Structure 1
C-alpha cells in the first residue's frame, strides 16, 4: 500500500493564505490586534505578579480601573505613553525592537 505524502505549511504561509500577504490592510490589522492581545496579557501577568488589583494599578498610573481593564483585555488601543507609565508603575522594564531592513535598532 502506497502512503500519501502530506504537504506541510509554515505559519507564515498560512497567514499569507488565510489572512493576507504581509503589507496588506487585513494582515496589518491582524498583526496589530495580535500585538495588542499579547501586550494586554503581559500587563495583566505583571500586575498579578505584583499582587495589585486593576484599581490599585490605575491609581499608580493615574487612570481609572476601567482603562486598566481595557488594556488587559485588548479592547482599547493605548498610547505608548500610557503603556510606558503602566510598566513603570509595575516596576517592569520594557524594551522595543525596531527593524529597519536588515538592521535592528533597540530602544530601551
Structure 2
C-alpha cells in the first residue's frame, strides 16, 4: 500500500508574514517590522564594535556613556535617539545611511 503524499503549499516569507501578522500597514505587522529592524541595528552595532576590537566599556568611553548603556543599546535599540546611534557609529568609524519614508516620499540621510 502506497503512503499518501501530502502536498505542501510553498509560501514566501512575505506571504507567511502577511498570513500570520497581517499585511504591511497593519499595526501588528508594522510593530513586527520595526522591532526586527531595531534588533538588526543592535546586532550591527555589536558586530562592528567587535570588528574594531573594542569592549563595551571602551566604546562607551568614546561617546561619553557607561558600559551598561552600550550593552542596553546592543540588546534593545528601541529607546535610543538617532543622535546616540550616530555617535556610536561615528566612534566606530562606520558610515551610516538612514532612510525615512513618509506618505510615499522617501528621504535618505547619509
Question: Under a length normalisation based on structure 2, what TM-score does the superposition of the two structures give?
Answer: 0.84
Q: Which runs of 5+ in 1 are unaligned?
A: none
> Does the 8 A contact of 2:41 with 2:77 survive in 1?
no
Q: Which runs of 5+ in 2 are unaligned?
A: none
Alignment coverage as a number of residue pairs: 107
> Does the 8 A contact of 2:35 with 2:78 survive in 1?
no
The Cα RMSD (Å) is 2.1
SS of residue in 2 equivalent to 1:63: coil
Q: CA deviation at 1:75?
A: 6.2
Question: Under a length normalisation based on structure 1, what TM-score does the superposition of the two structures give?
Answer: 0.85
- Relative to structure 2, which stretch is displaced further, 42-51 or 21-30? 21-30
Question: Within 5 A, what are the aligned runs for 1:1-108?
Answer: 5-74=7-76, 76-99=78-101, 101=104, 104-108=106-110
Pick the structure with greater CA Rg: 2
Distance 1:6 1:17 in 2: 16
SS of residue in 2 equivalent to 1:69: helix
Following TM superposition, where does structure 1 have runs of at least 4 consecutive aligned residues deviating by more than 2 angstroms?
Answer: 1-6, 97-101, 103-106
